[in-house]
Amino acid sequence: MKRTEYESMQKLAREYFRKANIVVREDEPIEVADFGLGKVKEIGLQLCVYINTERVCAKEMVLLPYQTCPEQSTGSAAVRTVR
């Protein structure tokens, strides 16, 4: 995925968080997952991880209109963080 597409998806996710009245600070990263398929607008998701420890995990996820998230099979999904 190109950086411009990644940043565009982050921006869209922030807009949807705002519409849902979910506060995500500008310094909190939005991760974009395309699951290695290269079709993030059709298959993927955007998420913000607030906390992730061995005992607790808090995340907000965004699926855009017409975007689906594949079922997770064996192995791990490719979530990319670009900074």
pTM (2 decimals)? 0.73
Residue 37, pLDDT score: 87
Residue 31, pLDDT score: 92
Residue 83, pLDDT score: 46
First to last CA, the chain: 14
**β 57-62/31-33 pair status:** unpaired
Alpha carbons 46 and 49: distance in angstroms, whole number: 10
Q: What is the mean pLDDT of each run of 10 residues along the chain (83 residues)?
A: 91 93 90 88 89 88 87 52 48
Instruction: List the beta bridge partners of residue 56.
Output: none
* Cβ-based neighbour number of residue 35 at 10 Å: 17
